[in-house]
Amino acid sequence: MSGLTPPIGRFAPTPSGRMHLGNVFAALVAWLSVRSRGGSLVLRMEDLDTQRTSAENAQILREDLLWLGLDWDLETDPQSRRSAVYDRYFEKLADLGLLYPCYCTRSQLHSVNAPHLSDGTYVYPGTCRNLAPAERAAFHRDPAWRVRVPEGLWQLTDLCQGPYSQDLATECGDFVVRRADGVYVYQLAVTVDDGEAGVTEVVRGTDLLSSAPRQMYLQKLFGFAAPTYGHVPLLMSVDGRRLSKRDKDLDLGILRSRCAPEKLIGILAFAAGLIDTPQSISAKELAKEFSWSHLKKENILLDPATFV
């Protein structure tokens, strides 16, 4: 184990550009939740998509987190360097007899039905579940690999969203753990990384709540304890769109030139219900009065003009 003091939270940014406000907000709450209880944080770069990510962006992310006053105790290897580790867990699933190759094309998968879960997942109808060896061989191409899911309900009590349950079999279906090009998917990588780092608390945007049961299933198969989850509301612009990397005026590069970290944190904390009056406040000060019970559950509207 890592030797860190629990609770152990994590930052897991994707170094594909500057953080936007939604990333900042999730990182802030992850930090507040464990620091307010004397816990630790692990930083990990989620750079599975090596085309879109870079070491330069990773370094800017570290500097931006520190500028915000959000520090960490340990940085673990970036995902791009851990494929041999993921191989071992993939083999474990194979040994359990739970993997099978899937030859479906994207258009085949998408023609069946609309995305079911909030993260855009399509329910997999099990097309390739019981192909005979000869049928598999006839495809002459590399398959993706799916893990079989059992019937039954997966339940968790989210720190922010409260009780959540999902029937993996009917709401998700057997899911991909390794793509046809050999790249491991987020579900497998994140489960292995959090599990090996001893993470006890996963805080991230509420768009990922529906992926938690898939990770809980893999945790069970890999022998990791399930962490506590806290899925924080998304930040929306006043016209109802989710703030994203496309909102260049709200990325941290621009915001750092416009306001102090305390001002930025104060605006987020007030909008999220963590403080009662709009005021500048440091992350450290905010940790003294942090409580999950104060945090809003619903998406948070933010007017970009507030930051000017």
Closest separation in Å from C-beta 186 to Zn ion = 19
Output 126 or 273, the one with its CB closest to Zn ion: 126
Residue 7: is the preceding peptide bond cis (ω within 30°)? Answer: yes
Q: Which stretch binds Zn ion (CB under 5 A): 98-106, 111-119, 155-163, 171-179?
A: 98-106
Output 116 or 245, the one with its CB closest to Zn ion: 116
Closest separation in Å from C-beta 51 to Zn ion = 25
Residue from 12, 28, 104, 255 touching Zn ion (CB under 5 A): that is 104
Residue from 102, 147, 269, 300 touching Zn ion (CB under 5 A): that is 102
Output 173 or 266, the one with its CB closest to Zn ion: 173
Say how far apart CA 161 and CA 234 lie, in whole Å: 12
Q: Which stretch binds Zn ion (CB under 5 A): 123-131, 190-198, 203-211, 275-283?
A: 123-131
* Beta carbons within 8 Å of 97's beta carbon, 6+ residues apart: none
The one-letter code for the residue type at 51 is: Q
| 128 near Zn ion, rule: CB under 5 A | yes
Residue 175 is encoded by which pair of tokens? Answer: 């899911």
Output 74 or 185, the one with its CB closest to Zn ion: 185
* Beta carbons within 8 Å of 16's beta carbon, 6+ residues apart: 49, 52, 53, 57, 245
Closest separation in Å from C-beta 1 to Zn ion = 38
Closest separation in Å from C-beta 103 to Zn ion = 6
Closest separation in Å from C-beta 211 to Zn ion = 20
Say how far apart CA 300 and CA 183 lie, in whole Å: 34
Output 103 or 290, the one with its CB closest to Zn ion: 103
Output 128 or 192, the one with its CB closest to Zn ion: 128
Q: Which stretch binds Zn ion (CB under 5 A): 29-37, 127-135, 268-276, 286-294?
A: 127-135
Q: Are 285 and 245 in contact (CB under 8 A)?
A: no
Q: Which stretch binds Zn ion (CB under 5 A): 67-75, 88-96, 121-129, 259-267?
A: 121-129
Residue count, binding to Zn ion (CB under 5 A): 4
Say how far apart CA 308 and CA 302 lie, in whole Å: 13
Closest separation in Å from C-beta 21 to Zn ion = 38
Output 124 or 186, the one with its CB closest to Zn ion: 124
Closest separation in Å from C-beta 265 to Zn ion = 46
**CA 243 to mean position of chain CA atoms:** 16
| 127 near Zn ion, rule: CB under 5 A | yes
Q: Which stretch binds Zn ion (CB under 5 A): 56-64, 100-108, 230-238, 268-276?
A: 100-108
| 177 near Zn ion, rule: CB under 5 A | no
The residues facing 203 across adjacent strands are 230
Output 180 or 259, the one with its CB closest to Zn ion: 180
**Interface residue list for Zn ion (CB under 5 A):** 102, 104, 127-128
